[in-house]
Amino acid sequence: MSFKLPPPNPQYSKLSFPAPHILLVTLSRPKDLNCINSTGHAELHSIWEWLDDEPSLRVGIITGEGRAFCAGADLKEWNSATQANQKRTASPPSGFGGLSRRTGKKPVIAAVNGLALGGGCEMITNMDIVIACEKAFFGFPEVQRGVVAWAGALPRIVRTVGRQRAMEMVLTGRRVSAREAKEWGFVNEVVGDEKQVVLRAIEVATQIAANSPDSVIVSREGVKLGWEGIGAEEGTRLLIESWEKKLNAGENIKEGLRAFVEKRKPQWVESKL
């Protein structure tokens, strides 16, 4: 693929482009269960910013290499700083892995290929769509290590699974299976193994990428307004005031309506939103 902006060259992740308009990010520290250190956080923050800024890309996917999706923070790095009474390197404003507090513009899908613990689970909490393999499991073991899930999951997880289930997860630290997480509404879909989970994520991403990139961006913004706790009427008003003129000024709304009348597949252009 050709890009208008040069892609990042991360040390701890691999970038690939499995289908048109789709970015696949693979966390690549398999011996460390893909835990993320301070450098990795900065790299991932830059990757997701690039996704939003690169007009040829419409959807992102994140997965892990090996048997883990992400085991959370690099506790060895954290321990070294704590024992030396040094302040840890601050996470980017987008949170753990550049995702746990990300607002962003374009959707990101999690293809959970294995364990997702601590910060790994915090990323999942703020993901747009989550697809997990059968052997995946989720948990917040921070209380078992004397730390806290600071990266944004605590106020968010309750909105997905409810107070009692959220309390159970974060106060006991127990691991929740993929099937149980799906029953709780934390996971969209459970598939076979780690290879199938990435393939399924690509299928879903392809469905999204086939739609108007303008409409996807604005529709996602509308859902996010409700996610952040704004009332339905207020959220609708803000969405219209912020986005309706921009959407109507673009070429994709004209193309989509014209294609419907002409009974053909629309030919979308790169979003300028």
Domains, the chain, ordered by start: 13-209 (3.90.226.10), 213-262 (no CATH)
Q: Which amino acid is at 121?
A: C
pLDDT of residue 180: 98
Q: Write b or e for each residue in 85-101: b if 16 or more Cβ atoms lie within 10 A of its Cβ, otherwise e.
A: eeeeeebbebbbbbbbb
The yes-or-no answer on residue 119 being catalytic is yes
Q: What is the pLDDT of residues 180-191, one digit of tens each?
A: 999 999 999 999
Global pTM reads 0.95
Catalytic choice (60, 65, 72, 73)? 73
Looking at residues 15-20, what average pLDDT do you find? 97
The yes-or-no answer on residue 270 being catalytic is no
Q: What is the pLDDT of residues 135-156, one digit of tens each?
A: 999 999 999 989 899 999 999 9
Residue 155: both structure tokens together: 């106020």
- C-alpha neighbours within 13 Å on the C-beta side of residue 35: 14
pLDDT of residue 131: 98
Share of the chain above pLDDT 70, in %: 95
Q: What is the pLDDT of residues 203-251, one digit of tens each?
A: 999 999 999 999 999 999 999 999 988 899 999 999 999 999 999 999 9
The yes-or-no answer on residue 122 being catalytic is yes
**What is the rounded distance in angstroms from the CA atom of residue 64 to the CA atom of residue 35?**
10
